[in-house]
A and B are shown apart, each in its own frame.
Chain A
């Protein structure tokens, strides 16, 4: 695969645009979040979703294709033609430009063919992963997780005090009381699974062993805050969107940033439900220190908790974690008990708004500029209307136009595009009769230099500024080659 082939693959709009919008929006949002300290965890978590939502819209607007047209050029040769108005030469190969005398016509074969779009397949795979994951998780994610983690539902009389307290908190939050369950894991942790009435609040035996009642309740409040915030749904959708852009590492960063903010939000909301908000901080500290002495969780638990389970109370610290660092969480919880921060001054608010607007404008401009980079590589139409070739031609001494050689019979719309650069009302006249198509002369590359073009197939309307372009066709064993005489 040549470098040009790679570019053609990369510059497909569904792939290229989705990478550009994700990258630019992620950088902009990261800066905006830093610049706007008054943003709450909820707003931040929603903002971080934008970079992973944007590629989905790109792919819906530019549906990924499995096959894409590819263009290849080859220099056939050049020959003299008697021209009254001078020759107009088109040649995408800079090495041959521009020193040909005006009476020479250069033949360049432009072949369009369908090739497999690897990036299209990647994008379609992402869409399929995302879709299948979202449906599976929403429909049966809790069932799968229960099976994988061997979740045991508690009877109503087991840990009765805990179930009663959980019911009270759930009532306070106006959510349905979740089923309380256990897993045998000795590592302290807790998490929620499922959605709505199927929600389960799962504790590990390890957690129940090391925490006192108040701390267990604090953990329960944190988890119930996740339920209240619809984090199962939020996480499923975020995961599905990340799967759509699975080929872009920034998608994972955006996802983890968003999840961290949800975690902070659950900490805040959970702590507010407690008489002693400190107990959540104590619980987190105890859990963290207990986990230090225990081996890492198995890969299955990590994957299950990332994909199927909402928000375990804690994750082992790692670079790519949906959980913020423990000291950040403790600081966040402690702030709740401290005096409420003063409201932002109007002057600072204006600065923040202006800065945000600036970031948005910069983001849009960057996206626009980056999107234009690919314009020369996407389709033959764009290739030929691409700035470099056409500008070169219009600077020609003869002030004349176009010129193209093409092996594709169905290229009239492409030609139309080219003419339209100089004529607001272009019209391609199709071959006058079928016989002329069949009677095309056979073409031999060696003969090209001495061949006189004949049998016009298409001609543009004569109202092109000062020339008439006549397109000729020659056929060889590999197909038909078109060229133009002006």
Chain B
């Protein structure tokens, strides 16, 4: 288990978008989102499963093994990175986020948007314009942005 290749470079990823999810839960499962929030919110980096478990347990009772397997999954998804550290409790994994919270959000939104535009191009543009309350200048800037995205896509 510990011999797992951790150097393998993967892009942080998620494979689904949850329309009803709030904030990070749109991209991640609820526990995954909580764990990521806890890791980003923690002053300590890198951090152990036990420490995240203790932090989450303050608000809601949760099993250690659940946190452990979720963090393992987040590592598999390349949202977290990890290494083995030797410390007081023996040899254990310590985890840290691959991206800062804002970078992650940006990257996730971009991914969703790119997917929407790729699939539904014009509809996305007009929806965005309708949904937002913008003046002429802002609208023009947005259209330019979308053109750019489209251009990049091609």
Interface on A for B, CB 8 Å cutoff? Answer: 148-150, 152, 154-155, 157-159, 182-187, 204-206, 209-210, 294-295, 297-298, 300-301
Contacts and interface: CB of A to CB of B under 8 A. Distances in A.
A302 to B, nearest CB: 11
B2 interface: yes
A184 B92 contact: yes
A158 B65 contact: yes
B89 A183 contact: yes
Given A186-B1, A186-B84, A205-B68, 18 more contacts: A148-B88, A149-B88, A152-B50, A155-B63, A157-B63, A158-B64, A159-B65, A183-B90, A184-B93, A185-B91, A186-B93, A187-B90, A209-B1, A294-B2, A295-B91, A297-B90, A298-B86, A298-B90
Most chain B CB inside 10 Å of its own CB: which residue of A150, A155, A204: A150
10 contacts: A148-B88, A149-B88, A152-B64, A154-B64, A158-B64, A158-B65, A184-B49, A185-B89, A186-B2, A186-B90
Nearest 4 interchain pairs by C-beta: A185-B90, A184-B92, A186-B91, A150-B89
B65 A204 contact: no
Interface of B: 1-2, 48-50, 53, 63-66, 68, 84, 86-93
Nearest to B64: A152
Scoring A149, A157, A186, A204 by chain B CB atoms within 10 A of each residue's CB, the highest score goes to A186
Contacts of B65: 154, 158-159, 182
Contacts of A158: 63-66
Nearest to A182: B64
A295 B53 CA distance: 26
A301 B64 contact: no
Contacts of B88: 148-150, 298, 300
Contacts of A294: 2, 91
Contacts of A206: 1-2, 91
Contacts of A183: 89-90
A184 B48 contact: yes
Contacts of A185: 89-92
A209 B68 CA distance: 12
Contacts of B68: 205
Given A152-B50, A182-B64, A298 B87 contact: yes
Contacts of B50: 150, 152, 184
A294 B2 CA distance: 10
A302 B135 CA distance: 70
A159 to B, nearest CB: 7
A149 B92 CA distance: 12
Nearest to B94: A184
Contacts of B84: 186
A204 B90 contact: yes
A185 B84 CA distance: 10
B65 to A, nearest CB: 5
Nearest to A156: B63
A150 B86 CA distance: 14
A204 B91 CA distance: 10
A298 to B, nearest CB: 6
A182 B68 CA distance: 12
Contacts of B2: 186, 206, 294
A30 to B, nearest CB: 35
Chain A CB within 10 A, most for which of B86, B90, B93? B90
Nearest to B65: A158
A295 B86 contact: yes
Contact of A187 (B49, B64, B87, B91): B91
A149 B91 CA distance: 11
B53 A152 contact: yes
A184 B90 contact: yes
Contacts of B49: 184
Contacts of A298: 86-88, 90
A159 B86 CA distance: 26
A298 B86 CA distance: 8
A300 to B, nearest CB: 6
A484 to B, nearest CB: 70
A301 B91 CA distance: 11
A170 B24 CA distance: 45
A152 B65 CA distance: 10
Contact of A149 (B53, B63, B89): B89
A186 B87 contact: no
Contacts of B87: 298
